[in-house]
Each structure stands twice: as structure tokens, then as C-alpha cells.
Chain A
């Protein structure tokens, strides 16, 4: 774990970043910084460039211009540090008959050295990760038999099986049922507070964003607003971001409903 990291340490620095999707300018001159131990949400309408932006941070999309710095690492050091990044994509297409169990998929999250651990040691780590997402019973099930929400939980367990410095989620809670959504949001909150994980997520759930995130980035190709949920998620700002009236949240003043099991 990285509990000794200073809260002010920069995990991701984005400077004047522009990204193309084919001939189309998907992200235009965006700059921001993610500090360690913070939970940041990127919100915006469909086609705003949210997924493209996080993919570029992960090295999956090349920058048209501007710079991204991850962990201050370069070259071989960055390759090693990449093992400390967890990612849950928005879509996870695979064929239902893919011969892989839930347990095996979670085990792929172990870093390369750990994969050759004894079976007992490996099984223990996998079991712990599955327990955190309440999928212990499904451990030996084929991944093709899972529902969309269960699959998202398995992918979260894949990320939880080793300590991460950065967790990037692209609508990771979409498809999860209401109770599960709250549980997983609380789990993420715990990872941030207890283990100093930095979380960056794309979300459409403004209610959860306002409850659990420290910072919000409002994106519509350009970065329109950035700040704490209470100052950013105002009706005026949301009108500007979405181009329509959007209710920021109906639970702003309610106490957070973190289940006791977490």
C-alpha cells in the first residue's frame, strides 16, 4: 500500500491536451492535475470526450498535442509503474463461451511476479478481492454466465487484487443494481480514505458524484468547470455543460448512506 504518500503528490498532470477522434477534435486544450488520495469524476454529455480523455491518460489514445505525465515516471520505470494502474473499461465485449472463470480473470490482475506465486497464496489474494465485491460464490463460474453488473464487480475485483496508486473507471457502476451501486461507491471511498488510492472516473450519476467525489471536471470537448461538487454541480453550470436543465442531485444535504458492512 502507499499510505506514506503525501496527499499533495501529483499522480496525473495533464497540460494543454488536445485529442482527435479521426478527423474530429474530441478534446480541446484541457489541463488539470490529479492529486494522490483524491476521487475525481469527469462528467459531461455523450460525445464530450470523457472516455477519450481517460484513454489518453492510460496510454490507449495518442495525444494530438499537449502533455500527460503519469506518476512522474518515464521509460522502463513507467512500464513498471503501469502495474499500479487499475482500469475498468466502459464496454467489455467477449464471447460467452470464453473459457475463463471469475477466479482466473481476477488472478490476471496480479502482477507478473505474483502470477507465479503458489496456488494457495494466489487463491488467498483472489478470494479476498472477490469477498470485497461480494462474489465469493461465483468464483468458479465461467465469466460468460455473469450479468453485466456482476461482470463490473469482477473487473473491480481484478483491480483490487493488488494495491493500485491509480484506479480509472469508465462508467464502472453503470449496469450495477441500486444496492450494489451504493456498496461499490462506498468501497471506492474506503480505498481512497484507508489506502490513499487515487480514483478517476467517468460518471453520469451526479448523485453519487456529489456524495463521494472530492473534485469534478465538467467536460464538453473543452474543460468548462473544475472544483468541488458543491461549487461545480450548480444548475447554471450543468445547463452550460449539458445544454439542458439537469438536476444536480436530490440528496445534497442528506448524510451519506454508506452500508455498515464497509
Chain B
């Protein structure tokens, strides 16, 4: 445990400031998109795209391409491809997701064995490194948040209606397919950027936990979105503070704060 002066000086370091800001932005994005994700019963989708990103990372290594952009391109293509398959087949979405997940992990594992040189970066793929967030990552996160907020604000009633009942939305003339694919696009980019910070294994926590906590305590939709975003942001800051204070890995610390927040809310609302 460091003393208060050391602790405060830690947060004056640029990489730490970037990490806190990144944690807040990822928390807000995860809270907002995760709210729609859980209400549309797509939690497993987030998990599948997150885990399949291993193949994207391996591809970037094999083809010697920039990791961030390759990961974004891969998660977008994979996410849209999976949704297309779900729409086009009569199989249940969970079946399609399991097939896609297994296939991508098998390919990723084989591809990994062909990677030459140092392979010690596997841990950073699995658990991420929020302290390595760059200015480019922050700019991307700001842009993504701005687009997401603009899209939600402009189409909020349509988003709520299609989340609640697809048929009612279609009858009202809501462009359901366009909204669905655009949501997947935003979600896939968010997952790619979150993986850089917290890794493949923990990415879905950012999407699901804050939204699930907010769902237990909110009656109305807009407060639900705001609460999920708020919990995401708060967890980002608290996780970084705790990881700095007692020298714990940052990404898992944020997810643990989210988890304890969820348990507290569940107990308080008598849901468990």
C-alpha cells in the first residue's frame, strides 16, 4: 500500500490520466450500448464477438498489420457476419453464436501456433492493459461516444420500441434492419476498443454488469440508460483508484467494482 503523496503523484502521470479517462469513456459506452444489449437478449453476442477477437489479434500478428485497426475491422466484420447468419437461418441465435465462437477460437488457436517470435503477449490479449491506452485510442473513444449519443438521441423512441417489440416497430415504419445493423457496428467497435483495455475475457463485463445493475433499480427508460452509463463511468474511476492504491491489475479491478456494485444493488433491491 502506497502513502497518500505517492498515490496522488501516481495520478499526475500522463499514462494514468489517459487510463482513467479511457476507463470512464469505456464505462459510459459500455453502459449505454450494454443497456440495449441485455434488453435485446444479446449478452451472448457480446461474449462471442469478444472471444472471437483472439482470431483478429492473431491475424494482425500474422499479417503484420496495426493491432487496433485490424481488431476493429475484424470485430465489425465478424459481428455483422454473425447477425447476418442469425437472420438468414432458422437455427436459434444461441446455436449460431456457439458455432461462430468455436470456429473463431479454433482458427485463432491454430493461427497463434504459426506466430513467429515472442508470444508472451497472450496474457495482454486475454486481460488487456488499460495503462497502455494511447491518445489515438482516446480520440477514437470520444468519436465513438459522440456518434453513439447522437444516434440514440435522434432515434430514442424507435430504439425503445424495437427493443420492446419488433413487430410494433415494423408496423410503425421503424427501419428495424438498419437500426439493428448500426447497433452491431457500434457494439463491435466498442468491443474492439474495450479489449485493448481489459482483454478478451473481461470485455463482456463492461457491457453487461452496469446495465444489469441499472435494470434492477430503474422504472423508466431514460433514467435506466443514464444510470447504466453512470455506473460504468464510476466503476472506471473507482477501479483505477483501487488498482493504484493497492497495486492490482487495472482492468480486473474495474470489473470487480462493477461486480460488487451489482451485488449491492441486487441485495438492496431484494433481487437475490
Report A's interface with B, CB cutoff 8 A: 55, 58-60, 79-80, 82-83, 85, 87, 89, 92, 94-95, 97-101, 104-105, 107-108, 110, 112, 115, 140, 142, 158, 168
Contact = CB atoms under 8 A, between A and B. Distances in A.
Contact of B165 (A89, A107, A110): A89
Contact of A99 (B168, B173, B219): B219
A95 B170 CA distance: 20
Contacts of A60: 167, 170-171
Nearest to B158: A112
B157 A112 contact: yes
Interface in B57-81: none
A89 B168 contact: yes
B167 to A, nearest CB: 6
A58 B165 CA distance: 14
A182 B16 CA distance: 67
Given A97-B216, A98-B39, A98-B164, A104 B221 contact: yes
A100 B215 contact: no
The 4 closest A-B pairs by CB, nearest first: A82-B173, A99-B224, A87-B171, A99-B218
B161 interface: yes
Nearest to A89: B167
Nearest to A112: B157
Contacts of A107: 157
B126 interface: no
B161 A101 contact: no
A24 to B, nearest CB: 14
B172 A83 contact: yes
B215 A82 contact: no
B123 to A, nearest CB: 37
**Which of B164, B223, B224 is most buried by chain A, counting CB atoms within 10 A of its CB?**
B164
A190 to B, nearest CB: 23
Contacts of B160: 100, 104, 108
Nearest to A114: B157
B220 interface: yes
B220 A101 contact: yes
A125 B74 CA distance: 47
Interface in B147-164: 156-158, 160-161, 164
22 contacts: A55-B167, A58-B170, A59-B170, A80-B173, A82-B171, A85-B172, A92-B165, A94-B165, A95-B39, A99-B218, A99-B220, A99-B221, A100-B160, A100-B164, A100-B220, A104-B220, A107-B157, A108-B160, A112-B157, A115-B157, A140-B219, A142-B219
